[in-house]
């Protein structure tokens, strides 16, 4: 079975109630391919998840931007995977580079989070990617492999995982990876999964690209054989997100 194109919108820590209402209206009115062709998942900040979920067109889904590493309890300020499941939130983004860098989330911690979230029934968009220094040092694949290995060691079933390759130097910088750069890492990552997990998981797991994706660059990226969709930050707050969804067609 082919890999269905996947477009995620990461709203990060942005938006007021009014802005959220406008974004949802734009999403609901946009012309997009059928859900047989593209899976669309938007990720508002926690506080807006219930309202977005209830107002969003039915074929689009929602994701949380994070969740706690284990069962909820005395962890002030955290949101647990069980709460997301309880609210009917199907997806969660884990391992985003902003959390790895700003909040010190290690590869192992991200692996634990992915495993716990999956065990509770969530689907996971797991982010990996190298910094500019790491790319310039020639260690892109070592970094991405180590991040993926920390996840692979903790999980058995990959059917509810989407891998997001997000080079840190491309996130929010306007400096998108070239289609060739993205394809090179996606193909190597798929090979890594083939060797270290299984050929079946390698064939079926979607590997999406994130980092300064826009309406202007999405078509060329989407044409790469191992680019199975996008995780979009800044542009997911704008009407051009509809054009990016249409890159699937």
Binding residues for ligand PEP, rule: CB under 6 A, are: 10, 12, 166, 171-172, 210-213, 231-235
In the bound complex, what is the minimum distance in angstroms from residue 230's beta carbon to ligand PEP?
8
In the bound complex, what is the minimum distance in angstroms from residue 231's beta carbon to ligand PEP?
5
Residue placing its CB nearer to ligand PEP in the complex, 202 or 212 = 212
C-alpha angle with apex 110: 109 to 116, nearest 5 degrees? 90
Number of residue whose CB is nearest ligand PEP? 233
How far apart CA 230 and CA 16 sit, in angstroms, is 24
Q: Please identify which of the residues 98, 130, 166, 240 carries the catalytic annotation.
A: 166
Q: Please identify which of the residues 39, 96, 105, 186 carries the catalytic annotation.
A: 96
How far apart CA 168 and CA 239 sit, in angstroms, is 24
In the bound complex, what is the minimum distance in angstroms from residue 107's beta carbon to ligand PEP?
18
Residue placing its CB nearer to ligand PEP in the complex, 154 or 238 = 238
The DSSP element (H or E) to which 103 belongs, if any, is none
Residue placing its CB nearer to ligand PEP in the complex, 104 or 138 = 104
Residue 177: phi, psi to the nearest 5? -65, 145
236 in Cβ contact with 11 (< 8 Å): yes
| Residue 11 Cα to chain centre, angstroms | 11
Q: Sign of dihedral through CA atoms 78, 98, 173, 175?
A: negative
Annotation marks residue 166 as catalytic: yes
Residue placing its CB nearer to ligand PEP in the complex, 197 or 226 = 226
Active site residues: 96, 166
């Amino acid at each position: 079975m082919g890999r269905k194109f996947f477009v995620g919108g990461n709203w990060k820590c942005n938006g007021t109630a009014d802005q959220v209402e406008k974004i949802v209206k734009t999403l609901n009115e946009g012309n997009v391919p059928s859900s047989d062709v593209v899976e669309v998942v938007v990720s508002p900040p926690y506080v807006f998840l219930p309202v977005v979920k209830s107002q969003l067109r039915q074929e689009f889904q929602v994701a949380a931007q994070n969740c706690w590493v284990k069962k909820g309890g005395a962890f002030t300020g955290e949101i647990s995977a069980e709460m997301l499941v309880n609210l009917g939130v199907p997806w969660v983004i884990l391992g985003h580079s902003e959390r790895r860098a700003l909040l010190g989330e290690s590869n192992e911690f991200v692996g634990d989070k992915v495993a716990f979230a999956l065990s509770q029934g969530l689907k996971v968009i797991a982010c990996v990617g190298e910094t500019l220094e790491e790319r310039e040092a020639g260690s892109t694949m070592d970094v991405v492999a180590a991040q993926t290995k920390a996840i692979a060691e903790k999980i058995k079933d990959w059917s509810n995982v989407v891998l997001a390759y997000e080079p840190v130097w491309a996130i929010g910088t306007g400096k998108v990876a070239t289609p060739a750069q993205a394809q090179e890492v996606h193909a190597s990552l798929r090979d890594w999964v083939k060797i270290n997990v299984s050929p079946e998981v390698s064939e079926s797991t979607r590997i999406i690209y994130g980092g300064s994706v826009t309406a202007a660059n999405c078509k060329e990226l989407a044409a790469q054989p191992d680019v199975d969709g996008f995780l979009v930050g800044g542009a997911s707050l704008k009407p051009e997100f509809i054009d990016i969804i249409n890159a699937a067609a």
